[in-house]
């Protein structure tokens, strides 16, 4: 059994990939990108959650077009991420999108078979460190140095680097949570 330091599981996410998606945010990140969109997820707070428990929390019979994993840094917890995406690709959809601060070259350079399998199962990888000065306010990436690597479903993601950004708001307890990559303020 694998575990994840988990922050949130939410459905439907409509702003981080094609269609209605299951969104999973992990906690913990060894990167230190200035201007990080989620600095509150840097520390792996709390106890890790068994991936089987994460799967049990997903509403039965839900129909997702894909899975988006963000964080924190998903590749800092590769075993848990791999278990989750194996299940999702087998049971729900092969449209798996992962946001990471690592470049694909760094990920391949780890020479880790778990990371290699994750990369093989990933449909879209949004990779590279966020650089605030290169944020053009467009696309499915935070800054223009980041690459959107489309390995499957090119028709769905043909405009991923230039699309208008959207955000959605959800109520969580007594506060509002923003999901998505914010467009630049005018």
Write the DSSP string, 57-105.
HSPTT---SEEEEEES-GGGSHHHHHHHHHHHHHHT-S-EEEEESS-HH
pLDDT of residue 62: 85
Residue 108 has pLDDT above 70, yes or no: yes
Domain-wise residue ranges, the chain: 3-180
> What whole-number distance in Å separates Cα of residue 64 and Cα of residue 132?
32
pTM, full prediction: 0.95
Mean pLDDT of the chain, nearest integer: 93
What would the 3-class secondary structure string for 161-178 be?
Answer: CCCECCEEEEEECCEEEE
Spatial neighbors of 147 by CB under 8 A, at least 6 apart, are 103, 104, 125, 126, 127, 128, 141
pLDDT of residue 158: 94
Residues shown for the chain? 186
Strand pairing report for 6-13 and 21-26: antiparallel
pLDDT of residue 167: 93
Instruction: Give CA 125 to chain center in angstroms.
Output: 9
Q: Which H or E run contains 9?
A: strand 6-13
8 φ, ψ to 5°?
Answer: -155, 145
pLDDT digits (tens, 9 = 90+) for 13-52: 999 999 999 999 999 998 888 878 888 899 888 899 999 9
pLDDT of residue 87: 97
pLDDT of residue 37: 81
pLDDT digits (tens, 9 = 90+) for 130-179: 998 999 999 999 999 999 999 999 999 999 998 999 999 998 889 898 99
> What whole-number distance in Å separates Cα of residue 151 and Cα of residue 122?
7
Residue pair 84/117 in contact (Cβ under 8 Å)? The answer is no
Strand pairing report for 66-71 and 96-100: parallel
> What whole-number distance in Å separates Cα of residue 84 and Cα of residue 70?
13
């Amino acid at each position: 059994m694998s575990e994840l330091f988990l922050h949130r599981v939410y459905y439907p996410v409509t702003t981080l990939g094609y269609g209605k998606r299951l969104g999973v945010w992990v906690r913990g990140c060894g990167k230190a990108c200035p201007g990080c969109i989620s600095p509150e997820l840097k520390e792996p707070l709390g106890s890790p959650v068994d991936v089987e428990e994460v799967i049990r929390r997903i509403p039965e019979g839900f129909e997702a077009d894909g899975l988006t994993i963000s964080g924190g840094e998903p590749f800092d917890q590769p075993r848990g991420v791999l278990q989750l995406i194996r299940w999702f690709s087998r049971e729900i959809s092969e449209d798996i999108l992962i946001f990471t601060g690592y470049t694909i070259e760094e990920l391949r350079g780890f020479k880790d078979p778990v990371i290699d399998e994750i990369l093989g199962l990933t449909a879209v990888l949004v990779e590279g460190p966020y650089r605030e000065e290169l944020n053009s306010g467009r696309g499915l990436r935070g800054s223009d140095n980041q690459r959107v690597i489309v390995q499957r479903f090119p028709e769905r993601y043909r405009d991923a680097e230039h699309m208008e950004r959207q955000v959605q708001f959800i109520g969580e307890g007594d506060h509002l949570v923003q999901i998505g990559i914010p467009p630049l303020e005018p």
